[in-house]
Structure 1
Amino acid sequence: MFSRLSVPQSDPPRSPRETLPTMYDLPSEEPQEPGLPDEFHDLQPRLLSSTLRLPTYASDNRFIGTNLNLYYDSRHPLWYKRPDWFLVPGVSRLYDGVDMRLSYVVWQEGVSPFVAVELLSPGTEDEDLGTAERLGDRPPTKWYVYEQILRIPYYVLFDRYTDSFRVFGLQNGRYQELNLSEQRLWISELQVGIGVWQGTFEGVTRKWLRWYDAASNWLPTDAERFDEQEQSLNQAIERAESAEEKAQALAERLRSMGINPDEIV
């Protein structure tokens, strides 16, 4: 099926970019993952993406994947996982710096995600938590892939039905659940934190996952930043108008006292 797999090797061997399938061969157009998507699975990843600010990585030097096929095993090139959200710092925002990604193919990119987020639902919980039984030559669970193959340092799980927020960190090759303070976790390697925020996003009020900064302030979306800037501008205009009104009132008071305000230096 894939012509690259039949490319003869040479001495020295050709790189995986020449001999193995790329994202153009392995797109995300026909997802086969279990679980029915819902509006929350659209809104929550969007909130994570729109509030992420990485002090040590420029916006064009990191990739965010949302419900995108993640191909992880060159021995089984058709096997993939489909994280609800994942972050890969230190790679170009665009594939080869020019093209939007159709999928994320680890053997082509050379860099695994640093954070993976899964939004739990009854149909996917066993797969996400690694409790599903693996039969025969079937693909391993997400838990196994993230922990043992991709070795993703932070695995975040959020259950919107119970608002349960759990984070597992890779320690000595195994995921260990991390202690959270007030449903928040600071990720020192990225200089940003993730936690549970109660608020309204896209007209829906509930608990959401959201990023926060070193001062423990929730990072704003672009729309929120625009609203804040507009509010500050309006306040500045009001202050200026108030100052002008005060100056006019003072001038009238001086004139009533027989003093010409224009002659006052």
Structure 2
Amino acid sequence: MYELPSEEVGEPGLPDQFHPLQAQLLRLTFQPGNYDPEQVFSAMDLNVYYDENHTRRYKRPDWFGVVGVPRLYENRDLRLSYVVWQEGVSPSLVVELLSPSTQDQDLGQVEGEADGTPTKWEVYEQILRVPYYVVYDRTMGGFRGFELERGATAESPRYVEVEVRENRWWLEGLELGVGLWQGTYENVNRLWLRFYGSSGDWIPTPTERERAEKERERRARESAEQREARERQAKERERQAREAAEERAERFRRLLMENGINPDEI
């Protein structure tokens, strides 16, 4: 990992502002239900080296997630790239964010290079055999999901497009779902791709969790304050009722005495 290039030589940076924000939201909500968070890794725009015999060949997904590997490289360092033959585990999910310059590659509509370098689609499907592949077209407001065909022969696995219902797709092997969410992230309100859990609820980001916890604390304080106010009001009513009863008894006592009757002798 330390010897292979971690940058795309001759390539510009990220294509727009949307790509890093969308990838970051995916990273923050990628929490497979059947894996410990310390055994989950995800990254955006990171070189994935896939061929030990051609060590300079790599693909650079917009975002990908891996389960069953340490969050840190060898449990000690941030990764510069993802070298499959060293890690021993291929990505479990790849997400490509469609743009005009990469759309044909992302959808497998281009030929391999003359030197035998496989296309992005071929790498994901035939070499890495990524179980789940998602392409999101933000301009059209929809995403497509592809799953590696169950029972496919070892020699020729194939992606099969799944039916995405109500803009959601449950990834059974990860105990996690991916879908489109209309909401505000980083002060931008739009359709975002993010993950949801088995309950069907969107997995919150750390900021959302913190905000929700503060709201729960506020409501708890409000409830406590309201309870204390009710108790004070009840005590005040009891005090007023007691004083009113004492006042009535005193008036009756005076009335008896005015009429020559000793109340203590009654």
TM over 0.5: yes
Residue 33 of structure 1: CA displacement?
A: 5.8
Higher helix share: 2
Q: Which residue of 1 aligns with 2:110?
A: 132
Work out which of the residue numbers 60, 63, 71 in structure 2 matches 1:93: 71
1:20 aligns with none
Q: 2-side partners of 1:36 and 1:99: how far apart?
A: 24
The structure 1 segments of at least 4 consecutive aligned residues displaced by more than 2 Å after TM superposition are 29-36
* Partner residue of 2:189 out of 191, 205, 208: 205
2:85 partner letter: W
How many residue pairs were aligned? 238
2:37 counterpart residue number: 59
Question: In 2 relative to 1, CA 35–182 (structure 1 residues): closer, same or farther, beyond 3 Å?
Answer: farther
Q: State the 1:138 CA deviation.
A: 5.3
Shift of 1:239: 0.8
- Alignment correspondent of 1:214: 198
Structure number with larger C-alpha Rg: 2
Q: Which residue of 2 aligns with 1:117?
A: 95
The CA distance in 2 between the partners of 1:242 and 1:62, in whole Å, is 44
Tell me if structure 1 keeps the 8 A contact 2:113–2:119.
no
CA distance in 1, matches of 2:202, 2:109: 34
Instruction: Report the alpha carbon displacement of residue 87 of structure 1 after superposing the two structures with TM.
Output: 0.9
Percent pairwise identity? 51
Matched residue of 1:88: which SS? Answer: strand
* Structure 2 partner of 1:253: 237
Corresponding residue of 1:5: none
Question: 1:101-180 counterparts in 2 under 5 A?
Answer: 101-137=79-115, 139-171=117-149, 172=152, 173-180=157-164
2:72 maps to 1:69: no
Q: Distance in 2 between matches of 1:32 and 1:111?
A: 29
2:252 — aligned with what?
Answer: none
What residue identity is the alignment partner of 1:115?
L
Q: Distance in 2 between matches of 1:236 and 1:66?
A: 39
> What does residue 184 of structure 1 align with?
168
Aligned residue in 2 for 1:4: none
Q: Does 1:229 align with 2:229?
A: no
Distance between the aligned counterparts of 1:168 and 1:217, measured in 2?
A: 23
CA 254–144 in structure 1, closer or farther in 2 if over 3 Å, else same:
same
The alignment's C-alpha RMSD in Å is 1.7
Uncovered stretches (5+) of structure 2, i.e. residues with no partner: 245-266
Q: 2:52, 2:158 → 1: CA distance?
A: 22
